[in-house]
């Protein structure tokens, strides 16, 4: 066989297929459909000494990034007048639970403008589902 028979395209496709097959093992199947503007309650596992416990974090999803195993959400909450943002990897083993409390009608894919406003101005209009 000649080296010229192997093209970069075939090698990169094999590499992508290998990565996808490895990622499939670690993807969580029972993950809810998270959208930007949702108010969610996230439970994640933290270790204190030799004990494990679940800590909950409640806030608004202001952005979603990436796909697959690298999927990341940014959740923002205001605590004692200070905005706190935290990034979560929903496919991580430390990610325990997710509960969507409320959804909002939004017109943007990233809600970074919430960083600049406070109080009643930062409220989002609630989206009501028509499920019966």
Q: What residue spans define the domains of the chain?
A: 31-108
Which value, to the nearest 10 degrees, does the dihedral of the CA atoms of residues 92, 97, 99, 103 take? Answer: 0
Task: List, for residues 6-28, the tens digit of each pLDDT value.
Answer: 556 666 788 888 888 888 888 88
Q: How many CB atoms lie within 10 A of CB 123?
A: 10
Confidence of residue 131 (pLDDT cuts 50, 70, 90): low
DSSP 45-103: EEEETTEEEEEEEEEEEEEEE--GGG-EEEEEEEETTEEEEEEE-TTSTTEEEEEEEE-
Task: List, for residues 79-100, the tens digit of each pLDDT value.
Answer: 998 999 999 999 998 999 999 9
Residue 112 pLDDT more than 80? yes
pLDDT at residue 19 in the model:
82
Tell me the mean pLDDT in the region 36-49. 93
Q: Considering only CA atoms, which of 50, 60, 106 is closest in space to residue 86?
A: 60
Residue 67 pLDDT more than 90? no
Q: How far is the C-alpha of 106 from the C-alpha of 103, rounded, in Å?
A: 9
Q: CB of 76 within 8 A of CB of 114?
A: yes
Tell me the mean pLDDT in the region 56-68. 93
What are the phi and psi torsion angles at 94 (to 5°)? -80, -15
Selected from 2.160.10.10, 3.40.50.720, 2.30.30.790, 2.102.10.10, the CATH number assigned to the domain covering 31-108 reads 2.30.30.790
Residue 2 pLDDT more than 70? no
Tell me the mean pLDDT in the region 45-73. 93
């Amino acid at each position: 066989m000649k080296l010229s028979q192997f093209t970069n395209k075939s090698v990169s496709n094999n590499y992508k297929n290998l990565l996808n097959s490895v990622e499939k093992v670690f993807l969580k199947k029972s993950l809810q459909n998270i959208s930007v503007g949702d108010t969610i309650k996230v439970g994640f596992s933290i270790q204190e000494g030799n004990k494990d416990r679940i800590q909950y974090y409640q806030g608004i999803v202001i952005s979603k990034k990436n796909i697959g195993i690298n999927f990341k959400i940014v959740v923002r909450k205001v605590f004692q007048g200070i905005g706190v943002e935290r990034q979560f990897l929903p496919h991580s083993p430390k990610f325990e639970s997710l509960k969507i409390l409320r959804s909002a009608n939004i017109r943007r894919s990233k809600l970074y403008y919430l960083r600049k406003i406070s109080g009643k101005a930062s409220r989002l209009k609630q989206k009501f589902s028509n499920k019966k």
